[in-house]
Every structure is written in C-alpha cells, then in structure tokens.
Amino acid sequence: MTAAGPPLRVEGLGKRFEATVALDEVTFDLRPAELFGLVGPDGAGKTTLFRILATLLLPDRGSATVLGLDVVRDLWAIRARIGYMPGRFSLYPDLSVEENLRFFASVFGTTLEAGYGIIAPIYRQIERFSDRRAGALSGGMKQKLALSCALVHRPDILFLDEPTTGVDAVSRREFWDLLGELKSSGLPILVATPYMDEAARCDRVALMQRGRVLAIDAPAAIGARFPRPLFAVRVHDRYALIQALHAYPHTASALPFGNELHFSDARPDLAPAAIAGELRTYLQSNGLADAEVTPARPGIEDAFMALMGTPQEAVG
C-alpha cells in the first residue's frame, strides 16, 4: 500500500446498464483501518460498486483506486491483494469446508496453514465441521466460511457485499463482532448491508439509493440530520393509529418502529410541546385515548427515510 494514500478512493464513478443508472457520480474514500458501510436497499448500486472495485466490471465514467492501484489499469495487482465476498453464496457447495479453504488459498498461491493465523478467530467456530459439504451448512456458518475464504490469502483490504442478508439476528451479531476484531487488526473493510441497525457498528456509512450517495457520515451524525422534531407514539391498536396519522393534516412522516411509531409534524415553526399536545388531542378525539406521545431521538433509519424523499418504488 502506498504510505500516504487512502486504502480506497472512488471519484465520480458512474455505470449504467441500458436505461438503468446503476451508479451515478459516486465519490468517497476509506481511511486506514476504517470499517465503512454502504447502506441501502436492493437496487441502490452496492453490488455494481463492489464489482467495479474488484475489477470484474468496467466503469463508464469516473475512477477508483484500491490500495493506490487503478481498478482499470492495475487489475491483476489489485486481484492478488483484495479479499472479496460476493453477495450470493460464492463457495463450492460440493466441496467440504476445508476443501473450499484449501482451494481458495491455492488460487492465491498460498496455503491454509500460511493463512491460518488471520482466519483462526473465525475458522475455529466452524472447524469442527471441516468435513461437512459447504452446501449443507446453515446460513450463519456459510457466511463464516465465505469470510474465511476471502481472508485466507491475507488481503490488504476487504470487500463484503451483504454478508448478513438472510442471516438470523444471532448470527448477524456474531458476524459483526468478527468484523470489529478484523478492523482492530488494521484491515480496512468496505461492507454493504440493507440492515440499518448494522450501520451503527461502522465508523462511517454512505447511505445509497438508486445509484446515488445520499449522505456520508458517522452513524450518530447521520441520525442528527433528521430535519424535524421527532416523536414516538405508543398505542394499543397500531393499525388504527397509522390510519389516523395518515388522515392527520399535519403529518410529515408517520412510520412504525418496532412497538412504537415515529411521527414528525409538517409545520416548521411549531414548538415541540405544542406539536405533541395537538397530536395527543387529535388522537384522543379519534378513539385512541391510550396514546402516549414522547420526544424521540432520530436514528439512521429515520434519517435514511427522510433523505430518500420518495420511496424506491415511486416509478414512472
């Protein structure tokens, strides 16, 4: 790695597939040893970006360097030094756990033994299944094996495309614990996720939608970008609450969050206490006498939805 440059730099990157703009002027960089999240739903452009960075796809415009190497000119040098875990299960299902690892090591001209030190914290969790066919592993174990395979040649940067999609909450937590350990060993990591709660575990995140970066910041700072006072509303009959808030003329946003609903008011200069008071009165007069309205602190998901403006499916 060049001593001075960032481990990853992306500048004005663009890519289209016929009429679909997959990436539109994407610019960001990674700091040394940074855990950087690409957060966005399907269709945001995350996979296209990874494929360009992994030198599997040419950009239409813009440029990107990985470890100081150009993704178009220096593809062979880049391929030897990155670890890439594609979104779809990328292992050989008919090979055993150990055979997969030995295969990926040999492709990079190394051995499982030589790479054991770096993968040990992850591999130890699945090592007792080393004879099992990779196709017969549970979702969480597949992800740990895929991560081991992406690390076995001791890469200098790690690209993880939705490593936790379809994985249960327990395995997701374990996986992110492992990423935290890798990061503290100094490895820069670019990781994509559709789960907003995972974004909070990154140093910085880029929120993406339809090929564009909506915001780049530390997770806590992104929550603070929510533009209005936010309230949490709790009530027994939540469907009635949603309907009542859709009918309320001052609703700017009314979106369920677990067992409560986050509400913001469209009137810009009304004091928070007045907003809450009027809302309580309105809900009570609409048969929701048990409504509790309390101030809430906006999180990443609140901010993301506010930045999205129109939802993904606002087509045509």
Among 96, 130, 165, 286, binds another protein (CB under 8 A): 165
Query: What's the distance, CA 15 to chain centroid?
Result: 20
CA–CA dist 172, 163 (Å, integer): 9
Least distance to another protein from the beta carbon of 41, Å?
3
**φ and ψ at residue 309, rounded to 5 degrees:** 70, -90
Residue 153 vs 201, nearer CB to another protein: 201
* Mask for 35-54, x = binds another protein (CB under 8 A): -----xxxx-----------
Q: Is position 215 an interface residue for another protein (rule: CB under 8 A)?
A: no
In angstroms, what is the minimal distance from the CB of 179 to another protein? 17
From the list 22, 3, 2, the residue with the least C-alpha distance to 14 is 22
Distance, in Å, from the CA atom of 274 to the CA atom of 290, rounded to the nearest integer, reads 19
55 scored as a contact of another protein (CB under 8 A): no
Is residue 68 within 8 Å of 5, Cβ to Cβ? yes
Buried b (16+ CB within 10 A) or exposed e, 241-276: bbebbeebeeeebbeeeeebbbbbbeeeeeeeeebb
Antiparallel, parallel or unpaired: β 61-66 and 8-17: antiparallel
Contacts of another protein in 270-299 (CB under 8 A): none
Indicate the residue among 187 and 230 with the shorter CB distance to another protein.
Answer: 230
Instruction: State the number of binding residues for another protein (CB under 8 A).
Output: 41
Any contact of residue 305 with another protein (CB under 8 A)? yes
Please list the helix, strand and coil fractions of the chain in percent, rounded to the nearest 5, in that order. 35, 25, 35
Among positions 173, 212, 225, 250, the unique one binding another protein when judged by CB under 8 A:
173
CA 248 to CA 268: how far, in whole Å?
A: 16
- State in angstroms the smallest separation of the CB of 211 from another protein: 13
Instruction: Choose the binding region for another protein from 48-56, 145-153, 165-173, 288-296 (rule: CB under 8 A).
Output: 165-173
Closest approach, Cβ 79 to another protein, in A, equals 28
Please state, in angstroms and rounded to a whole number, the distance separating the CA atoms of residues 240 and 256. Answer: 12
- CA–CA separation, 163 and 145 (whole Å): 11
Q: Is 301 in the site for another protein (CB under 8 A)?
A: yes
Compose the 227-266 pattern: x for residues touching another protein by CB under 8 A, - for all others: -----------xx--x------------xxxxx-------
Owner of token pair 């249960």 = 168
Cβ closest to another protein, residue 272 vs residue 287? 287
Q: Which of residues 80, 169, 224, 247 is near another protein by CB under 8 A? A: 169
Compose the 186-205 pattern: x for residues touching another protein by CB under 8 A, - for all others: --------xxx---------
Q: In the chain, which ranges are continuous DSSP H helix?
A: 46-53, 75-81, 97-107, 112-123, 139-151, 169-184, 196-199, 219-223, 238-247, 272-285, 300-308
In terms of CB distance, is 38 or 167 closer to another protein?
Answer: 167
Instruction: By CB under 8 A, name the binding residues for another protein.
Output: 40-43, 129, 138-141, 162, 165-174, 194-196, 209, 238-239, 242, 255-259, 301, 304-305, 308, 311-313, 315-316
